[in-house]
Amino acid sequence: MTQMTLKTDFRAEERKNRIIRGLMNNIVWVIFVALMIIFSVFIEGFFSFENYRNILYHSVFIGILAIAETIVLISGHMDLSVESIAAGAAIIAVWLAGASQGTSGLQLDTGLTFVIILLLGALVGAFNAFFIVKLRLDSFLVTLATFVMIRGLAVVITKGIGMTDLPDAFRFVDTIKIFAIPLMVFILILLYIVFELMLRNTQFGKHIYILGGNVDAAYNFGINVKGSLFRVFILSGVIAAVTGWLMAARVNGANAGIGSGFIFEVLAAVVIGGVALRGGVGSLVGVFAGTLILGAIHNAINITAISPYYTTLIRGGLILVAISLDSLKRMFR
């Protein structure tokens, strides 16, 4: 009778722990839903299809860059250069496609331009990986240096003058709408689905988690650690370059300051979404929610005409909450 009671108590405790773990792992979605309900009740005009569409539309750039940052963070590293890679890709794409400082640019085919900026994104990713993997330098410092260099190069290329007037073929991702929703919103969602499936269901994705969780275990499993990290940073560079393309398409041009400050938004979305800065933990499902939370807060501030300076304060508070929740999740594990 005592053993049966102990088994029953043990099963009840296990069920309770599973429920708590499930809640903790999805707490970011609970926060998002709660915020949406609160904003919809107390902010006039927030609860509408147009407004929700705007939240998604204005979350595209941060959301896609957050995919790149998530993959790198899960592998146990950090990539601060994603913002500047996107900016550099936007500037080069605009120049290649035909717009420049009062000139015609190169006027290359739109498809060829897209391929070139993807290759440039991959090249910068490989550049980062060389110093991090081959020379064993700290990823934070290497990508910070890359960030600064590309921003400086952007000023040199543009000479501080904005480039505008892109061909229609370049801007189709922003001009085409499906059910009144811009195509780039569907691109955002598609990329999250594709890369979440990659992380969860492919050998490469599983290797990324192992690398971030325990690099010694990765060596013991026979994983090509250096090769995998090279692919991680190259992939990050390619995703950032895609973001640059979308940025240029939306604003119909580019300048040296395009996307400035995005890296802070990206890191906030990733941390709020539950990705551990130490590596090995996180999912794009949570990061997507973190991106939407930031988008909803920005949107609410714009509607209520509150000073945008409060955004930074709120973002910092959310990051602190996210770090605390991450600590609690580790305790339950």
pLDDT tens for each residue of the chain, 333 residues long = 465 665 565 566 667 666 666 666 678 888 899 999 999 999 988 989 999 999 999 999 999 999 999 999 999 999 999 999 999 999 999 988 876 554 456 777 888 999 999 999 999 999 999 999 999 999 999 999 999 999 998 888 888 788 877 888 888 898 899 988 999 999 999 999 999 999 999 999 999 999 998 888 888 888 999 999 999 999 999 999 999 999 999 998 888 899 998 998 899 899 888 898 888 888 999 999 999 999 998 898 888 877 767 777 777 777 777 777 666 666 665
On the 0-12 / 13-18 / 19+ scale of CB atoms within 10 A, 304 is middle
On the 0-12 / 13-18 / 19+ scale of CB atoms within 10 A, 122 is middle
Per-residue model confidence (pLDDT) at position 1:
47
DSSP state of 101: S
The answer to whether 255 and 155 are in contact (CB under 8 A) is no
Per-residue model confidence (pLDDT) at position 278:
84
On the 0-12 / 13-18 / 19+ scale of CB atoms within 10 A, 66 is buried
Per-residue model confidence (pLDDT) at position 7:
57
CA angle 149, 152, 157 (to 5 degrees): 120
Per-residue model confidence (pLDDT) at position 268:
87
Q: Report d(CA 303, CA 50) in Å as an integer.
A: 13
Considering only CA atoms, give the Rg of the chain: 22
Q: Report d(CA 333, CA 321) in Å as an integer.
A: 18
The answer to whether 120 and 159 are in contact (CB under 8 A) is no
CA angle 313, 316, 319 (to 5 degrees): 150
